[in-house]
Amino acid sequence: MPSLDTAVDLYMSHVAAERGLARNTVDAYGRDMRRFNEEMSRRGRQAPEDIGRDDIVAFLDSLDRRELAASSKARATSAVRGFFKFALRERMIETNPMRELRSSKQRRKIPRQLSGQDIQHLLDQTKGSDPIRLRDRAMLEVIYGCGLRVSEAVTLEMARVNVREGYLTVVGKGSKERAIPVGRKALSALRRYLSDGRPVLDPTASSPSMFVGRRGKGITRQGFWKRLRGYALEAGLVDVTPHVLRHSFATHLLEGGADLRSVQMMLGHADLSTTQIYTHVAGKHLRDVHTRHHPRGRMQVKGDDQG
């Protein structure tokens, strides 16, 4: 039987090659499994078959002591659960020690979003004809207008944006491609950036990236976060991240009457249950719509208050 180190290496190779996870997720799983391996070594466990239920409970307790976010603990649990499924399938172990452990479901956090007025105030900070501001305006409009993840925005290629037809395609998590319509405001910002901004930043048009920096190379995640943080401070907004823009996109679509399935497709969620959290965010608005427009919401019937 392989040692624990070897088994973990084999599992990570499997995760990277066969499960189709995003690079960031694979890296996070690697960190989780290193923590797991360290905890098992501390407890004297040398091989997968040495690990029992109490060892896994001890590892989960160590995550609590680190005061990690609920999402990080859930991901680490998922990584270890996947490891033992892999080990069982590869006959490294005879029984799965996680089988008796209940899956601790994290409490789903309602995502933070900005109001339409806050979005406009944020975008107002990018006004100007400087190529960098033209790029930033276009990037913010596209992320908010299309619900992109920041990783999808910074890796967006020129060839994947059809300005004439008004849509773009991105490769999201699990290398899944999806097409998303681009709204009028985002198209306008893109056209201005492409005509007056990008040619200055990349005069030789050698970069395939849509959004480039002063040296003509694609903007990085960190670079965009820094720019966004600066605009948010100028607008008097706090805790604004690219993901907040994505959450705002989904919430505003639902508030505008979009159906959940369409929002799911545009966000690139594999499971509709992931998208359903936005129904909680938009719940008050939907109740107001019901009150205003449904006959049972508007009518007051005699005797209703008589119990």
Tell whether the torsion through CA atoms of 139, 168, 213 and 224 is positive or negative: positive
Is 278 labeled as catalytic in the residue annotation?
yes
Which candidate in 149, 227, 247, 252 is catalytic? 149
- For residues 49 and 59, what is the distance between their CA atoms, to the nearest angstrom? 16
Which candidate in 14, 45, 243, 285 is catalytic? 243
Which candidate in 137, 227, 246, 247 is catalytic? 246
Is 149 labeled as catalytic in the residue annotation?
yes
Which candidate in 278, 280, 284, 298 is catalytic? 278
- For residues 242 and 154, what is the distance between their CA atoms, to the nearest angstrom? 11
For the chain, the first-to-last Cα distance in angstroms comes to 71
293: buried, middle or exposed (CB in 10 Å: 19+, 13-18, 0-12)? exposed
Which candidate in 81, 160, 173, 229 is catalytic? 173
Is 173 labeled as catalytic in the residue annotation?
yes
**How many helices and strands, by DSSP H and E, does the chain display?**
16, 3
Q: Residue 236 region, left (φ>0) first, then alpha (ψ -120 to 50), else beta?
A: left
168 vs 24, 95, 121, 246, CA distance in Å?
23, 47, 26, 16
Q: Rounding to the nearest 10 degrees, give the CA dihedral for residues 214, 217, 222, 223.
A: 10
Is 252 labeled as catalytic in the residue annotation?
no
Is 269 labeled as catalytic in the residue annotation?
yes
Which candidate in 35, 73, 198, 269 is catalytic? 269
Please give the positions annotated as active site. 149, 173, 243, 246, 269, 278
